[in-house]
Structure 1
Amino acid sequence: MATRLTVGGLRSGGIIATRYGLALNLLSIGRLKFEPYEVENIRPLIVSSPLTKKALKRLGENKLARAIGLTEIAIGGMVSAGRWAPRVSAAGSLLAAGVFAVTLSFLVTTPEAWQVRERGREPKLSPAGQFLIKDVVLLGASLVTAAESLDSIRQSR
């Protein structure tokens, strides 16, 4: 018996993959913030950003990285609450959108995000910039999961 793909089935599968992929990314990336090499990796991003400058001065690199990690882990947990706690999941998804908006701002504030520009040619992303640009997709995923959770809340009334 052949299974028939439906638009609704694709949408439902896509939402599930998006929600739990987003949560897994946040949990995994948050966990890495407790590793010394990851503190080293994020250094150029956090020292150049006006959004993290005050916290960096107050906490130092290691504590700031851990605070970011704990935040990402908490948000990942909230996002994964989806079906069971849609309000929590919606809040987590909106917080995740904020996280990814901040990390995307690093493209503007981090000189290491761009390769040296050749005269008359467009700028190109460096490996650091390439790492950051994926956050556009994660920002979109955050908005999709927020909308899905909010829609679930609205339908349950």
Structure 2
Amino acid sequence: MHNSSLYNRLLRLDTYFFNFLRISIFIVMAWIGGLKAFQYEADGIVPFVANSPLMSFFYKNAGNKVMNEDQRKVLEYTLYKNPEGKVVEKNIDWHKENGTYWFSYGLGTMIIIIGSLVLLGIWFPKIGAIGGILTFLMSLVTLSFLITTPEVYVPNLGGDYPTPQYGFPYLSGAGRLVLKDIIMMAAGLVLFSDSVKKTVKPFTDRI
């Protein structure tokens, strides 16, 4: 009898775990979405957006190719990168003209909205189901960067010795960050399923 009672209590914990997952997703999305309003974060997503066939049209200069110092043809954005913690005026001017910041504001707003829908799933399962499926779709787009963005893999920059590991499957810092979205994708599906069950249950109980 005691074991049965403990088992039932453990079963009921799943509600708290699902809600903790919703809160966790909201924190991540609200934080990251909010940072999209700042210059360094907006600059940082340019390689992902500029190389994505799903998103590059948001940028004015996404497909422009120019000659670099080594007389190699490269995408224009690669010449106007601002390292995190450093602000170069000519780079900022280029990003303003490119539409970098307006796009980032819109993307950040969308991410915060999705996170809020997921959080509201604690009280409103139908809204939570929408948030869950949108989380899945957003993560799917993010994971596509592993195919479209060269910067997600370690480059062959040479040096005193040949670069031993570069290209696929050697993920760069950006690539390792993108890969983690597979967890967010799975979480979105799990929460979608949980929200749908809560939505359907009142109707099945009447039958």
Aligned letter for 1:50? P
TM-score by length of 1: 0.88
Aligned equivalent of 1:39, options 30, 39, 42 = 42
SS state at 1:95 partner: helix
SS state at 2:54 partner: coil
Question: Does structure 1 conserve the Cα–Cα contact (< 8 Å) formed by 2:19 and 2:122?
Answer: no
Aligned equivalent of 2:174, options 128, 132, 141 = 128
Q: Which runs of 4+ in 1 moved over 6 A?
A: none
How far did 1:7 drift? 4.2
Cα displacement string for residues 30-72 of structure 1 (whole angstroms, at most 9, x for unaligned residues): 1010010101111111111111111223981111111110000
Aligned letter for 1:42? I
Structure 1 stretches lacking a partner, 5+ long: none
Q: Whose RCO is larger (CA < 8 A, sep 6+)? A: 1
Aligned letter for 2:177? F
In structure 1, how many angstroms separate the alpha carbons of the residues matched to 2:48 and 2:104? 11
Percent identity for Structure 1 against Structure 2: 31
| Aligned positions, number | 155
TM-score by length of 2: 0.68
Higher radius of gyration, 1 or 2: 2
Q: Does 1:100 align with 2:139?
A: yes
Cα displacement string for residues 95-133 of structure 1 (whole angstroms, at most 9, x for unaligned residues): 1111111011011111000114758x9621000001111
In structure 2, how many angstroms separate the alpha carbons of the residues matched to 1:148 and 1:7? 17
Q: Does 1:85 align with 2:124?
A: yes
Question: Does structure 1 conserve the Cα–Cα contact (< 8 Å) formed by 2:143 and 2:182?
Answer: yes
